[in-house]
Amino acid sequence: MTHNVKRTFAMLLLAIFGSVLLYNCEPEPDSLGEQLFANEATEGTVTPYDLIAYNINNHDTIRSDASKLINLWGSTSSTAVLGAFNESNFGMQKASYLTQLRLSTDNPDFGTNAVVDSVVLVIRPSAAQYDGTALGDITDKAGFLNGDNTIPTKESIKTYAVNKYGNIGTTGAPTLFNINVNEVTTFLDANNTNFTRSNVSVSTGALLGTRVFNGNVTAMTILKTSDNSTAFTSNLGFRIPLDKTFFQNKIIAKKGQPELQDASNFTRYFNGIRISVAENDGYLFQFSPNDMEMIMYYKSDVTTNGVVTRPQTTFTFNLQGANAHIGQYEYNRTGSSLSDALAVSSEQNGDPRLYTQAMGGPSIGIKIKDTDINTLKTLYQNNKAAIIGAKIRIYTDKTNWDNAYAKPTKFTLLPVDSKAATGELISSTFTQDMLLGFTPYKMYDLDKNPAYYDFTVTKTVKDIVETGAENKTLVINLGEFLALSSSSTTLAGYKYTSRSFAMDRAVFVGTEATNANRIQLLVTYGTKK
């Protein structure tokens, strides 16, 4: 591919190409290349180079504690994953969630003769738009409790579909989950590194509650029939009734005792809860841990002017803040394509198929061949061939990833500086291209098979060839770099990504020599006529 550019404009841009100013002002390497070769000053050539690309085994574990799911200083979104999904390429993946809980008030006074009416846990998944239906809208609903009385009411329920990834079923027969809530009987010590990773093992006790989940969440309003005033409002969410007898004995009966005295005592007495699905196949969905609620409804004696009444009172448990939070992920790779690929993966020669999956699944390692770097150096030194653009192009595998699952749209690309004894790859900064304002990647044909992605490495390759920078391995992960807060566009840093809770995955074409869609480095360089 050959382009031309006016001589004076090309000479000007080439003279300052390496400066930070140019990279910041022109963040798109492709458009920059077009400017440099618009007319007749220089000739530009796009040359493909085969890469060494291989599967990185992350051993199905990732940091998934509060610092990743709910960063207390606000750099990450408050997101966790629940569900299970089984397919032939990656095997079975199951996501559960562990959290401590604290009393909203230390040493609470529940009053005299307190008795629990009910306890409910509310989970708020990420939902799609309102589907336009209102089930039971303005329908009579007798028996709504208001203190000791029942009053006639009518209700309006709006239903929303949850955003899902995996086997969601059909409209007529949606995939069903039994969502379980268990007591955790292991102390979740947030200061212990054993409780920071997704493959953490904990013991569970009593089943506190279970409910069938059909993939939808609801918002409910209950109105009094008499005057249409609001008797009860429930924001969008999924409500799981919990065992009231357990809370009567575990909480109410301990009034005034050391177990409820402060947070330190309470988190060792009631270690926490585990939310999971009973099934091993279906789909994954995200929810907000910081928006969860656990509410205990109870009655106790209240004496006014010698008259004893028993009004209903609520007590909330704190599921947010300084509590320990852990995304717990389980995998069964037996018989999967990924398992076979990892067994023969070659860091030296590359792999024919590349697998990437977030939440502790595999990453993709990429290395530019030293022989190709030497070729580019020779062109630069002998022919004055300046690198104008460079990108890594990678295609989804047309055969092995031909399905209806959404193509991934969030990636990170980082240089590898070292490898830990555990095999974990360690980075210490963004790529030079990101530091200088380049768009990290572009996506094409996401609605087709195959789709492909271009990752920008112009500055990275230019530095290796022209200044002798180290030819480092690059790693592609699913997930995106996160901002300091929801209202900021400033990234929190190279360590802060959504990889701990990103649900998607994909199979790509690797270094298969006979495949036209094999992963390649496309380098655009220009020389004077």
Residues 326 and 369 in one domain: no
352 has a pLDDT exceeding 50: yes
User: What total of structural domains would you count in the chain?
Assistant: 2
Mean per-residue pLDDT, 477-499: 89
Residues 6+ apart with CB under 8 A from 229: 223
Ranking 34-43, 200-209, 220-229 by mean pLDDT, the lowest is 34-43
Task: Say yes or no: 42 and 138 in one domain.
Answer: no
- Name the E strands within 163-215: 164-166, 177-184, 204-213
Q: Is there a domain that residue 519 lies in?
A: yes
Domain boundary among 282, 316, 332: 332
Are 32 and 131 found together in one domain? no
Domain boundary among 287, 302, 332: 332
Domain coverage including residue 81 = 66-332
Q: What pLDDT was estimated at residue 472?
A: 97
Same domain membership, residue 252 and residue 120 = yes
What does the pLDDT read at residue 76? 61
pLDDT at 22 over 70: no
> The whole model's pTM is what?
0.87
Same domain for 232 and 365, yes or no, is no
Q: Looking at the structure, do residues 136 and 11 belong to the same domain, yes or no? A: no
- Domain check: are 386 and 521 in the same one? yes
pLDDT of residue 128: 64
Same domain, 302 and 402: no
The reported pLDDT for the residue numbered 117 is 96
Residue 1, in any domain of the structure: no
User: Residue 291 falls within a domain, yes or no?
Assistant: yes
pLDDT in tens, 79-91: 999 999 999 999 9
Residues 195 and 287 in one domain: yes
Q: What is the pLDDT of residues 172-218, one digit of tens each?
A: 788 999 999 999 999 999 889 989 999 999 999 999 999 999 999 98
Residue 3 has pLDDT above 60, yes or no: no
280 and 347: one domain? Answer: no
Rounded to whole angstroms, the Cα distance separating 94 from 66 reads 19
The separation between the first and the last C-alpha atoms of the chain, rounded to the nearest angstrom, is 15
Look at residue 416 and tell me whether its pLDDT is greater than 90.
Answer: yes
Instruction: Transcribe 28-59 into DSSP letters.
Output: -HHHHHHHHTSSSSEEEEEEEEEEEEEEE--T
Average pLDDT, the chain: 86
Q: Which of 307, 332, 357 is where one domain is finished? A: 332
Say if 121 falls within a structural domain.
Answer: yes
Residue 2 in any domain: the answer is no
Q: How far is Cα 266 from Cα 318, in angstroms, rounded to an integer?
A: 12
Residue 209 falls inside a structural domain: yes
pLDDT tens-digit profile of 102-114? 999 999 999 999 9
For residues 120 and 177, membership in a common domain is answered with: yes
Which pLDDT score, from 0 to 100, does residue 75 have?
Answer: 62
pLDDT at position 18 is 35
User: What average pLDDT does the segment 252-266 reach?
Assistant: 96
- For residues 88 and 14, membership in a common domain is answered with no
